[in-house]
Structure 1
Amino acid sequence: MSARWITRWEPEDPGFWANEGRRTARRNLWLSVFAEHIGFAVWSLWSVLVLFMTPEAGFTLTPDQKFLLVSLVSLVGAVLRLPYGFAVTRFGGRTWTTMSALALLVPVVLAAVLMRRPETPLWALLLCAAVSGLGGGNFASSMVNINGFFPEREKGWALGLNAGGGNLGVATVQLIGLAVLATAGAAHPELLPLLFVPALLLAAGLAHRRMDNLATNRTDYGAYRSAVRDRHCWTISLLYIGTFGSFIGFGFAFGLVLQNEFGKSPAQAAALTFLGPLLGSLSRPLGGRMADRFGGARVTAWSFLALAVGAGGVLAASAAGSFAAFVAVFVVVFVVTGLGNGSTYKMIPALYAARAESAVEAGADPAEARNQGRRLSGAVIAVSGAVGALGGVAINLAFRESYRHTGGASAAIVGFLAFYLLCLAVTWAGYVRRPAAERPDRTAGARRPEPRPQPEPEPAVAERRA
């Protein structure tokens, strides 16, 4: 089928799935992963461009102004997640993927122009950074689109692959930035954004020619209205601020921190910044698998404990002036954020599946209760994903204020440590210590406390079909 609206789509039908569904779904998945990966890279572009903004290159920006730039990028990307998720169900996956890829040509071309002019005023740089935030919305639209193509039994694999492929875009832009520094030097920062022009054109062209629009993929607004009235939506969002917010926030800030804490050059900082996002992206599926085995709440609680210990290790390394220890501990922190990302998302469908089973035991209609659980879990996944991305804004604003008032990062890191302990307490009190009949790491369908941890169901969709 050549990229039109598909009006009949029945992935739960084994015959349909085997004959034509699987092939079409996987084609759309791979093209969506590519487009989302490039979008994530453009979203992360300013985490590398700020490394080029040195006094030697003629730039006069202070550390707090640079952190303001990356904070704004994070903010726009986070705010756009929900509207992008709604847009893909309104315009179709093929159409919206093409449009959103072409829209990103504006920030990359504008960044190339501005980076050749060190005298560019801060307001112009902020405007360009804000437009780059469009790439952050691509994650939500891609997840919603791919969700509609796959049957329930394969959604976990498909959405996990889609999310991981997007997250890797952070490492990609940092590796390309390192390559630019190694070959052209710090005097040519405009080359970095320009390298994404052909990639965006390719992503848009492939999406237009080879992707499809699903007429059956519609936003369930009623589920969103119910989700935002559910306290678990906001407690899970708080936890996701701590995991994904830390991943994306540290991904944007790591290079700047290395420059300001240890006086590293752009090339020296870029040579290390990609390690954390790369390993953090790769560890996300592992976090999901660990949650399958041990329970999402338990893995999330251990992740926050490890993050608190890691923040303490970063403080100790900074106080000792040990660059090697500082980088090593920070990379471990990135890995733990990936584990926590996977386990936190695993908590959501298990929580609502357990609630549905409780309703069934109380006499509710099984099909209706379980369908309501899936609808709510999908909406909570979408809302928590958008709210969690705001954690990246908080991370960079905290670093900005810390450097502005104290000249170092330690005050911000103390704040992160305290927040991780708060998230640990919320996870432990709200989800680990609760009765087994209500605990989110209980397997759907269980009628009594299990003798040992059981696998959780795969994540529900970020959007539901009407």
Structure 2
Amino acid sequence: MTAPRARLSPDPAPPSGGGRWIRHWDPEDEAFWNATGEKVARRNLLFSVLSEHIGFSVWTMWSVLVLFMGPEYGLTPADKFLLTSVVTLVGAVVRVPYTFAVAVFGGRNWTVVSAGLLLVPTVAAFAVMEPGTSFPTFLLVGLLAGIGGGNFASSMTNINAFFPLRKKGWALGLNAGGGNIGVPVIQLAALAVIGAGGGPRVLLGLYVPLIVAAAVLAARYMDNLAPVRNDTGAARDAVREAHTWVMSFLYVGTFGSFIGYSFAFGQVLQSQFGRTPLQAAYVTFLGPLLGSLVRPVGGRLADRYGGARITLGTFLAMGAATAVLVAASLRESPALFTAAFVVLFVLTGVGNGSTYKMIPGIFQAEALARGLHGEEAAAHGRRLSGAAMGLIGAVGALGGVGINLAFRQSFLSHGSGTGAFVAFLACYAVCSAVTWAVYLRRPAARPAAAGVAAEGEPRLGHAEV
């Protein structure tokens, strides 16, 4: 039984309530791509990156706001780790509805709405950010900031539909990397504000006009794709696919590490090594910045050498860097600790790019294994990978919750983050084993995937995706 073919015909565009709808979109057609597709796709990518970038900044703003929160706020290190855990949790959960919002409202329309919604947590944080505010109030406002994490899922789902399979590693890596840079940018902005003697409200005030600009530019320059329908069947099929959950686990190891460490790095430097807010801010931004910049590199490497191979090498290297962190923590060496942490951030960025490149390739390989070929296989891969990306992104972001909770428990029990790093080392070892066993131990999941597809089309092995 073959899977239903995704709808690429431009049937009447859904009601848009205003907005720009593209009725026909076939990026796998090289003539279409070279004539009009690439230009339109790149334009949408640019403004998608901008909106996602601001979303990441808002989502992770509490990673720097807690640096401003001295003894006068009455919060312990454990309180601060709990606060950032809550923010991360909401950002993970909202990724699921944000994924399907693209098909309901259109990619351009939802980008405008989701960008505008970022004003809510920003203004709320501005209102409560002062000594004397209760810890439950900070938790509630932190919940609101979590919506910034959803922008990633809708942005990735939208951009996935614009680009052909051969370009997805680069496009998705650039889209996600540009968004991820929102983390170090807000940390650099915090460094400038702290250095100038400003307070947290100055930092928050800077982002209000940026949010408005992102929404306006998305409305002006982005497009909706009419062929992207709300397909609940695709979501159901993606949930049933074992690869969705395997890749979710691997994404916990890569992106979960990136976002978790982004929230925790400055707090660990303060709590374990006695750094002041300004001293912590001087180095906190460096890891997320480099990790964001190399994410497109991870996608490019995956395009060339295969995502599974790059992902396995990344997990092995992450394990080695974590072992150095354990040693540095035991020796109480802040210089070695900081250097190893920055290297670990870089590796998470490479892994983020390679894992997301794997997703569309895996589902197209599955389509070929089921006897589909040509545009039918490509449509099946786009259909399932688009639905799976939101689920994978949501589960992966939960890794950030686990990291902050692990640090909280480690500091409560031992007064340092050493215990948490030992747990992370074990996790990376398991991720390495799973990557090898599922995607590299044999060329593909099914014997039928070997050989040559119909019409002389070569089949994709999972090692190559």
The TM tier, using the shorter chain, reads: 0.7 to 0.9
Secondary structure of residue in 2 paired with 1:434: coil
| Contact 1:71 1:392 (C-alpha < 8 Å) held by counterparts | yes
Of 63, 78, 81 in structure 1, the residue corresponding to residue 95 of structure 2 is 81
Partner of 2:310: 299
| Partner in structure 1 of residue 148 of structure 2 | 135
Please tell me the residue identity of whatever aligns with 2:111: T
Instruction: Tell me what 1:50 maps to.
Output: 66
Counterpart AA for 2:255: F
Instruction: Measure how far apart 1:323 and its partner are.
Output: 0.7
Q: What SS does the aligned partner of 2:370 have?
A: helix
Give the corresponding residue for 1:71: 85
Amino acid aligned to 1:356:
A
Q: Give, in whole Å, the separation in 2 of the partners of 1:154 and 1:365.
A: 19
The equivalent residue for 1:112 is: 126
| Letter of the structure 2 residue corresponding to residue 359 of structure 1 | R
Letter in 1 for 2:282: A
Once residues 28 and 357 of structure 1 are traced to their aligned partners in structure 2, the CA distance between those partners, rounded to angstroms, is 30
The 8 Å contact of residues 28 and 211 in structure 1, kept in 2 or not, is answered as yes
Distance 1:18 1:307 in 2: 39
Partner of 1:390: 398
Distance 1:291 1:142, change over 3 A: closer
The CA distance in 2 between the partners of 1:96 and 1:296, in whole Å, is: 30
SS across alignment from 1:226: helix
2:110 pairs, out of 89, 96, 100, with: 96
Specify which of 137, 152, 165 is matched with residue 178 of structure 2.
Answer: 165
Report what 1:247 is aligned to.
258
Rounded Cα–Cα distance in structure 1 between residues aligned with 2:246 and 2:32: 39
Q: Please say if residues 309 and 463 of structure 2, whose CA atoms lie closer than 8 Å, have aligned partners that are also in contact.
A: no
CA apart distance, 1:282: 1.5
Shift of 1:436: 5.5
Residues of 2 paired with 1:86 and 1:276: CA distance?
31
Of the three residues 212, 217, 226, the one matched with 1:215 is 226
Moved more, 90-99 or 321-330: 90-99
| TM-score, normalising length: structure 1 | 0.88
Which residue in 2 is equivalent to 1:428?
A: 436
Partners of 1:202 and 1:261 lie apart in 2 by 39
Pairing partner for 2:159 from 126, 131, 146: 146
Q: CA-atom RMSD, angstroms?
A: 2.6
Equivalent residue letter for 2:55: G
Kindly state the Cα deviation for residue 444 of structure 1 after the two structures are TM-superposed. 9.2
- Per the alignment, residue 5 of structure 2 pairs with none
Question: What amino acid is the match of 1:391?
Answer: G
Give the whole-Å Cα distance in 1 for the aligned partners of 2:92 and 2:109. Answer: 22
CA distance 1:295–1:212, change in 2 (3 Å)? closer
Unmatched tracts of structure 2, length 5 or more: 1-17
Count of residues paired in the alignment:
443
- Structure-1 separation of matches of 2:441 and 2:353: 21
Partner of 1:224: 235
Asked whether the equivalents of residues 350 and 442 of structure 1 are also in contact (C-alpha less than 8 Å), the reply is: no
* 1:158 positional shift: 2.9
Q: 1:4 aligns with which of 8, 16, 19?
A: 19
Q: Report 1:159-308 matches (<5 A).
A: 159-185=172-198, 188-308=199-319
Paired residues of 2:172 and 2:353 also in contact (CA < 8 A): no
CA distance in 2, matches of 1:442, 1:269: 52
Give the CA deviation at 1:209.
3.0
How much does 1:20 deviate? 4.9
For 2:463 and 2:304, the matched residues in 1 are separated by: 6
Residues 312, 417 of structure 1: 8 Å contact kept: yes
